Amino acid sequence: MPVSDVVAAPAVDQVAAPVHVAVIMDGNGRWAAARGLPRGEGHRRGVAALRQAVRSAGELGVKVLTIYSFSAENWSRPATEIDDLMALVKRFVRDDLQELHRAGVRVRVIGDRTGLDSEIFGLISEAEALTRANDKLTFVVAFNYGGRQEIARAARRLAEQAAAGELDPASIGTATLEQYLDTVGLPDPDLVIRTSGEQRLSNFLLWQAAYAEFVFLPIYWPDFDRAAFEQAIDEFHRRERRFGGLKARTGS
């Protein structure tokens, strides 16, 4: 089913979805190992699950979907696996970008772009430029991303401005720092989903997920489908979100 068949027309009878859902796509390698397949096949099946997740987000009324595609720490993996992952990233952009654009999806990439392969850098720039005016769904790809590294980059930029006399250090607060994060202009995630049964953030959106709800699913990422997405959202709606207060806030 093409992405455009569902992203443009969310179901009218749905329960209000969380505005921003962030996903840690974990378990491709273990999915493959459990089936006696090479890790690369797990990553390829993971891309298919990602396409379905984007479609499901549009159907369910999610406005921002952020996925953890490649962490700053993933460079320590074997070179053959990194090459396979990079090839999949390139293929995904080449094969899916026009479809995402027709569906009204805006693509935004967060993470450190310093030293990236020129072809990857060009594809990222192309995807963002082509889809910049779209407003059906914002699809955020965390690539070469780490939460600690993101905060350090923001702090460094603030320090540089303060040293240059362009910023009063006494004026720096949380709202100021947020203007220097990769996610500036985006709402914080309401729901963070992690597959594979692991229960940790792994350096993902450390600042932004301060008040997110977490749902950890026992399935590997290639098995993540519409039903799993709905299960996570159902669990989200059972939570009371108090944001440090005594009373739950209504809505997502």
Distance CA 144, CA 75 (A): 8
| Among the listed residues 105, 96, 101, 93, the one whose alpha carbon sits nearest the alpha carbon of residue 66 | 105
Question: For the chain, where are the E strands, in sequence order?
Answer: 20-24, 64-71, 105-110, 137-145, 191-194, 213-216
28 noted as active-site residue: no
Task: State the catalytic residue, choosing from 13, 74, 112, 203.
Answer: 74
Question: Beta strand pairing status for 64-71 and 137-145?
Answer: parallel
CB of 60 within 8 A of CB of 14? yes
Helices first, then strands: H and E counts in the chain: 8, 6
188 noted as active-site residue: no
- The answer for residues whose C-beta is within 8 angstroms of residue 208's C-beta and 6 or more apart is 22, 181, 183, 186, 188, 189
The burial of 42, by beta-carbon neighbours within 10 Å (0-12 exposed, 13-18 middle, 19 or more buried), is given as buried
Distance CA 190, CA 210 (A): 10
CB of 189 within 8 A of CB of 198? no
Distance CA 205, CA 21 (A): 12
| Among the listed residues 49, 45, 47, 54, the one whose alpha carbon sits nearest the alpha carbon of residue 6 | 54
Task: State the catalytic residue, choosing from 5, 13, 26, 182.
Answer: 26
Catalytically active residues are 26, 74
